[in-house]
Structure 1
Amino acid sequence: MGEPHRIGIVGAGWISSAYLETLRDHPAITVAAVADLDESRAAEVAAGLADCRALPVDALMKDSSIRTILNLTIPAAHAAVALDAIAHDKQVYGEKPLAAEMSGARSILDRAAAAELTVGCAPDTVLGTGVQTARSTIDAGLIGRPLSAVAVMATPGHERWHHNPDFYYRPGGGPLLDMGPYYLTALIHLLGPIEAVTGAAARPRLTRVIGAGPRAGDQVQVEVDTHVTGILHHTSGALSTITTSFDAVRTTAAPIEVHGETGSLAVPDPNMFTGDVRLFELGAPDWRTVAPSAGYVDAARGIGLLDMLTTPSPRATGTLALHVLDAMTTLLRSADEGRRLPLTTTTDRPDLVPLTPPRTWRQ
């Protein structure tokens, strides 16, 4: 196998622990350093890893032994950290979205291409057995030609549980930019790229009240739309309808349904790696559960980084993340202007992940 690939983590918040569950003991990876604006938090994370140092961001970037930066900062910092990494001749894999706005995201890909460096981006949940089995079922022709899809994410808002939810309600946040990447990325895996969007959006409340933690009772100003819905016009001809909302108490809707000429498919939550895929074929008496047929089995966050580092055709690419961001920001602009708008990017439909057991991807 050779020497493990040395990575540095920038951002030691709660999501870093989820990544480290996958990466800390993987033989292909060494987590060499951690940086965070909160130095004590970086030190705590580094102390739990073998041969890992807590460093200032600048020192981490200058460490020539570190080949890839895992960017787990808040969305507003994604572009600055990624561009800093590229300037120091390092690959980047980041949390979603790729950047808070399109100009920063384009700069990341342009500069990485000029430096011949790879960029990857979450979400990688879509590489698990849930979405990949749905993709395999569609590719096998079990619903016939795909015609449409419906995607729904509806919650009462993250302030009910998150101790510092402010960034969810500032530019770069909101339900579409926060949760939309899971649903849009899944829809692109299932139905291919998007050529145009038509949107509508609302901001029914101007403040939110934090419900948990030391700031419980504090108000957060809402600076973004919190209910966004729209139509995605796929290049294939299929139409998807997406709703993302921080203004709903509960929904019974399936996270994603895909409808074809001869069947309908219920797809599990794309924010999760697993879940039952259910198929209702034309003329059948009821839904049936489809056995897992594709995807990384028992995967967790970080599998997209491993996929980027160990496969010849990475699936969680910066190009895909740019297309997803383009779809989201254009959808918000469409809602503001009240008209259908074309996207300025496209992407390849990622390769299907073969059914890959843990003993294979953990080696």
Structure 2
Amino acid sequence: MSEKKNTNVSTDTESEKVTNYNEYHLNNDVSYYRRYTTYQWVTGLITILLLFWNAFIALIFWIVAWNLEQKVKVSPIDGSIWFIVPKKEWTEYRQSHNLPIYKQYYKNHVAKFDNDLTNKKKVEAAEQHNQELQAEYQKIAAPFKNDGALKVGRYYFDPSREEILMDTTLLDKHYKVYSFSDIVSYTPIEEGHNQTKKHGITRAVVGGAIAGGAGAIVGAITGGKNYDYIDKLGVVITFSNNENIRLIFLNSETKKGGFVANGYYKQFHDVCGVLGATISKNTQRLQFEQQKKLANPSSSSTSAADEIAKYKKLADDGAITQEEFEAKKKQLLGL
């Protein structure tokens, strides 16, 4: 707590007393408070008695007694020891730690120095945490950005990694990685109107979804006339957990066939191409899994029975509710 070489220590009623001050000095990294001395108690009592006789003389006596005091009694705030230091040294310590005079006798005082030290540690911890988060983000995002992934807004589509990165923005530091294997459908959006007719015409271009039973790609093209202006162009991607990504390439009236519209259409077709290939691959994977189950129904049935037994034990142990067990049972049995 303090800098010392060799001290002679004797036991006091409240704490240990350092009797050899010459080898004991204040440590700037420790918080101390000032303690009352016998000198202060005596001069204080005399000052109170003088007040009953003459207040002016009492004030003069107190000022003289204060200035004659050359040493002060101090302790660390834990009160473990106490020792005497020159008043000048204590004054310099108090000023450097922004400890007001009226707080110097408070054992539980909180000097500005202590607050600054605590805040500094908090800031350093926060900076280290931010550096760790930034390093983790760079590790995840760098492959998408360095591999030439298709970028649309804040999203990177990487067919080689079969993943989508939702990148950070200036106002949103959240990022997320989606797997292609979790994509179950996508819905293109294309809305526009003719120059002479301001009412909107919605036209769905080729979309895709993984079909339930057969596992084929379901696509649809609705009718609708061609139009002169495009009002909205985008695509909605749906994942197996019902989460959606809504990509809007264009959301204002734009002349179709122009340079701006063509640029957005290129992005639109690129994304739809990646999504179409993904849906096809996911469908083939599901078909293979279904064929494998049909080719070996006993193993599938045994596996389902084992899973049901496992969840039944969880329900009996109270780890899951009976309703959750029944729902999982129906899912495993394909009901």
Say yes or no: TM over 0.5: no
TM-score class, shorter: under 0.3
**Greater relative CO, 1 or 2 (CA 8 Å, sep 6+):** 1
More helix by share: 2
Greater CA radius of gyration, 1 or 2? 2
